[in-house]
Structures are given as structure tokens and as C-alpha cells.
Chains A and B, each alone.
Chain A
Amino acid sequence: MPGSALLSLQQELRRGFEALKAAKDTFDGGHAECQELVSSLGNLAPQLKALKQVQISETPLSGFPCLQQRLHYKLSLAVDALLAKLAEKMAALQKVWDAFAQQVFTVVQLYEKNTDALDISVCVSRSAVCPSVSDMLEWLQDADRYYRLQLMQSRLLLQTLTPTDLTSMETAPNRWRSVRSARQEERIADALCQVSIFLETE
């Protein structure tokens, strides 16, 4: 029954794009929020560096007991607090991506199960209101791959950040920005535009 196989595949594709929409919103917001936190980390690095370089005993602050250690402790606490917040945000992103990835897996599995019933000409045919099944599968899989890569790169970046490696902390804001690819973001936004009518027709 090629008709019903196509219909149920389209239904799963709709769910996939709904999940993509949710993932995109969360990733867009989450990335901007994390950017702010990473910038704060970037600001702490020069403060820790300056503290290392200054000989407190030779400054007007020499009379203050354990100032260097106390300030270093406070700055390290600030670093830890930011890293903890970042870890929390990453966990939220991971959760949304998991849901999306699961849906992509379901769609692909359904497609593979029904390859016999779905003629290639059916899969590549498209209309003004409905993109082809093959295009839609490709968009979902590309988005899935892109978000997975983004998550991995973000995680890797965060793992390198410790209060002892000040240079990597200082360059973190710029590296964080480059985790996102403008081209891929545009492709995802385009794909969502192209399926907008398809999503409305049940």
C-alpha cells in the first residue's frame, strides 16, 4: 500500500520538523545565553592574569592580609559558577537535541522499512506545497548532524576551560562564536520555510 506508507512517512516527517523547530529555537537562545557566560569567563581571564603579575607586597595594597590568595579564591569561585551555569545550559541543549535526534531516527527507520512500497519517483516528486520526501529526509539529517557537531564542539571547548589555563579562557569567546556556522543556520532556516505549508496540511 504505497499510499498509506507515504502518508505515515509524511506524518513522521511533520513531527521531525516540529522537533527541528523546537531544537532551533532552543539552540538559538541557548547559544546566545552561553555566549554571554563565555564572555564573562573571557573577562575573568585578564583579571586572573593581572593578579598573577602584580606583586601585591610592592603596591599600596601591601598592608592587606592574604589579599592575593583571597582575591584569587573569589575569582576562581566566579569561574566555577560560570562553568556550572554553562554545564546546566549544555544539559538543556543536549535534551532538546536528543528529542530531535530520536525523531529523525524514527523517520529514517520508517523510510527504510518501507523502501519497497515507496517508489523512487514518489520519493523525489515535489509540488509547490509539499517538498519531496528525499529533500525533507536530507534536511532533517543535515540538521541533526549539524546540531550534534555543535554540541560536541561546545563541549570540547568547555572542557578546555580551567582557571589555570588563562590563555584558552581569554580566547574562549571568539572560539565560542565560531562553533556556529552561518551557512548551516541559514540552511536550517530555509528548510523550515520550505516545509511551512506542508506542516499546516495534515
Chain B
Amino acid sequence: MSQSTTPQKGNLTGSARKLKDDAADWHNLTLRWERLNDEGSATATNIVNLGLNKKSHAESEVVMEGGSLSSGDLSENLTKSNQELEEECGKLKDVVDKMANIVSKMEKMVQAERGICELEAFQFGEKGRPEPLFHSWPTKQFAEVSSQLYESYKQELALKKTILQELAHTANADLSMVYLSSWLYQPYIEDSGKLLLESLLLETGHRPL
């Protein structure tokens, strides 16, 4: 994940080195995000199922109010399922925290790349360097691609935070389903992002042309 894990190939230095390492980081961070997304999806499904169980328990308890025989069992069950629900919510919070960590790393990369652009403007003037750093992209394009990717993950993170807050508290089955599919299908991460990332990897030489 860190820059030290990127193999040092050739004798890239300065801005080119930094941009190439960032491209590798983008690749690693998005892969890690996907893994966390799958993990979170399973946990979120558990939370919804536990919520449904809890609801049906509560309903059966109302029915059993007259008889005192099994109401003890029921409340014991309820405590147990509450505990489980809390555990699963804790797990989902961990996932969202890790995702937030990823997004803050992405933000730092965007800032660093803007810095590289400013440095270049300082060195070569507004037109930038005469020769591209890699194959064809002007340096600005790296900052633009990073910023575009970052915006989509930032929005997705905000959505996941909302889902985390609401998932265990919603009684509406349809809304729970919308939360689950929003989590799994990530509406703000578009396929065009994958294309951007792949072209970034091609441009920086991580993928053979």
C-alpha cells in the first residue's frame, strides 16, 4: 500500500516517481475498498436479518403476554439477538472506518498531485513542461483523474455512513432492501472510474501498452 512497496523500476525521480507511485496506490486502495465492500455487505445483510428476527420476536411476545411460561425464554432470546445485533453493527462500523481511512489517503494523493501541478507551473510556466512525464498525459490530467476518482469514493463513503447509521433502526423492509443494494452496488462508483484507473495504470507503465 505504501510507496515503499512499489517496486523501484528504472530511474524515475521527482514528479514522475511520485505520480507512478500514486497510480499504484490508487490501484491498491480501490482493490482494498472492494474487499471491504464485500465484507461489509455480508455484515449489513446479517444486521437486516437480525432486525427482522427481533421484530418477529417482539410480535410473538405480545401474543404470549397472557402465559408466563415461555416469556422468560423470549426475553432471553431478545437479549441475545440484541447482543448479536450490536456486535454486527460494531463490525460494520469498523468496515466504514477503514473505508474512511482509504478515502483520506485518496484525498492526500489528490492534494499532493495538485502540488505537483503547481510546482510544474512554477518551473515551466502556465503551459507546463514541454514533454509529457510518461507517454502522452499532461501532468494536470493526473490531478484531474485523481480528483474525479476521489469525489466518487467520497460520495460513496457518505452514503455508507448513512447506511451504517440507519440500517439497524429501520422497520421498513423495502427501505432495508434499498440500503443493502445501495451498499452492494455502490451507485456513486461508476464503471467509467474503472476505465480512468486502467488508463492511469497504462499511462504510468504499470500495465504494458
Chain A residues close to B by CB (< 8 Å): 46-47, 49-51, 53-54, 56, 59-61, 63-64, 67, 70-71, 73-75, 77-78
Task: Say yes or no: A50-B177 contact (C-beta < 8 A), given A67-B182, A70-B188, A74-B185.
Answer: yes
Interface string of B168-188 (1 = CB under 8 A from A): 000011110110111001111
Residues of B within 8 A of A61 (CB): 159, 162, 178, 182
Residues of A within 8 A of B34 (CB): none
Mostly helix, strand, loop or mixed at chain A's interface?
helix
Give the 3 A-B residue pairs with the shortest CB-CB distance, closest first.
Answer: A70-B187, A50-B177, A74-B185
Q: How far does the alpha carbon of A63 sit from the alpha carbon of B163 in the complex, in Å? A: 12
Q: How far does the alpha carbon of A156 sit from the alpha carbon of B158 in the complex, in Å? A: 43
State whether B162 touches A51 (Cβ < 8 A).
Answer: no
State whether A53 touches B187 (Cβ < 8 A).
Answer: no
Residues of B within 8 A of A46 (CB): 177
Chain B residues close to A by CB (< 8 Å): 155, 158-159, 162, 165-166, 172-175, 177-178, 180-182, 185-188, 191
State whether B166 touches A51 (Cβ < 8 A).
Answer: no
> Which of B165, B177, B191 has most chain A Cβ within 10 Å?
B177
State whether B166 touches A54 (Cβ < 8 A).
Answer: no
CB distance from B159 to the nearest CB of A (A): 6
State whether A64 touches B159 (Cβ < 8 A).
Answer: yes
Task: Using CB atoms, name the residue of chain B closest to A52.
Answer: B174
State whether B187 touches A54 (Cβ < 8 A).
Answer: no
Q: How far does the alpha carbon of A106 sit from the alpha carbon of B162 in the complex, in Å? A: 65
CB distance from B150 to the nearest CB of A (A): 17
Known: A49-B174, A64-B155. 18 other contacts (CB 8 A): A47-B180, A50-B173, A50-B174, A51-B177, A51-B178, A51-B181, A53-B174, A54-B174, A60-B162, A60-B165, A63-B162, A64-B158, A64-B162, A70-B187, A71-B181, A71-B182, A74-B185, A74-B186
Task: Using CB atoms, name the residue of chain B closest to A61.
Answer: B162
Task: Using CB atoms, name the residue of chain B closest to A53.
Answer: B174
CB distance from A46 to the nearest CB of B (A): 6
Residues of B within 8 A of A71 (CB): 178, 181-182, 185, 187
